[in-house]
Structure 1
């Protein structure tokens, strides 16, 4: 029986992954700021441990990890799912908004990983799943800060794999495209205040992107249940890839990035090669 530790489990992809793991008979420590919302989303199950956790508070992370080990005896899979998106034009964003975005999407992920590593090292086994995004592969309008945090998660994942593989610990990043969750709700998306708007950006791709959020919400093509089943199968199969795009739009983003990088390199390739002493 596998034990999962999942952040941001009260809704969206976190809840979907937790639900699928429970349906397969696994044990799940499902965390959220309000654990009652976890119970509301997932119901009651002998294998479910709802835990209070604000991932930006390190002492709470330590307590949640300790409670999981006390209840289940081990942790096999860690899913760093908690996150939000700061969308808008960089110049209009406040310092606190930017730092809060990195605290939640990057530093909280790092803190969770550091908290679970003593347990995973002692076991000489485990899998860390970092929830990145198609926005961790390519840039999108109005998404510079969200892109920056997800690119950071990608780099963290790629580097950690080298450090943890000798200890029997796998690390992968999943890169979802647009899935039908609450991710675009007002409590999940941050935007700059209107009174700080700069007229030069009116009519820009960033403004068009922001205007399209409300119509897109709850119309996304991606099925969270299918994503959860895929993540479960990838984790339980063993030897996961470094990164896994999920959804047609995410696959297209990855394939487009590969082609774009090759096209960017081509005219400068020989000059780039000729830079040694």
Structure 2
């Protein structure tokens, strides 16, 4: 990866295209998961439409993974040049308690790199420890290469995160995955009940924070990291209503680039009591 970081972006992306095609052909279980997710979320699509989206998704997935080479190892001028921070960037400035909603698009690492490098504030994020110690250290150092970033482990609890929000630090949250039934609630996602952690609403209330969506798109020249306006009237006192709204807004972001969303994840693995498995 350190070698790739020195090579031209078209070469890295070309290598990612080859790797993506290989993964699509070989990693059959995840290809089936992605196809099943699209069947559930886009039932009006034809099988060919779904296959085309999944094929492109594997390409983008591989390209984004190899892009970690330059995101984490290239000179800071390279990352600044290749990542465009657009939209309501001022929402991330100042001292107001701020919670970033960062959905699981393939470019999520570029989004974190962009704001921690280009926005003059302190940032905190939740980190899941990796099983391999070498990979774990590499990811920690890469994601926190700029001094403004501080990781919190999932096992550390919420107290430190809430305290950071109240100190004026920005929290980067990715709650749009199935983390199991513990503390999850079932709300619709593309019309299908999905176990969803209501952490966006909960952290926003506990920290008195506004919620600012940040959506990252992989582009031929790098990435576009778009900062949306803060959601008005969020959070409310209703966790279920807030989490339902989060999924509705997320659907709008996905509809703009469905091939870059994290479809290889079993989003609907946890089912409400009595419902059959979907995978």
TM-score tier after normalising by the smaller chain length? 0.3 to 0.5
More helix by percentage: 1
**Normalization by structure 2: what TM-score?**
0.36
Higher RCO (Cα < 8 Å, 6 or more apart): 2
Q: Work out which of the two has the higher radius of gyration on C-alpha atoms and give 1 or 2.
A: 1
**Normalization by structure 1: what TM-score?**
0.36
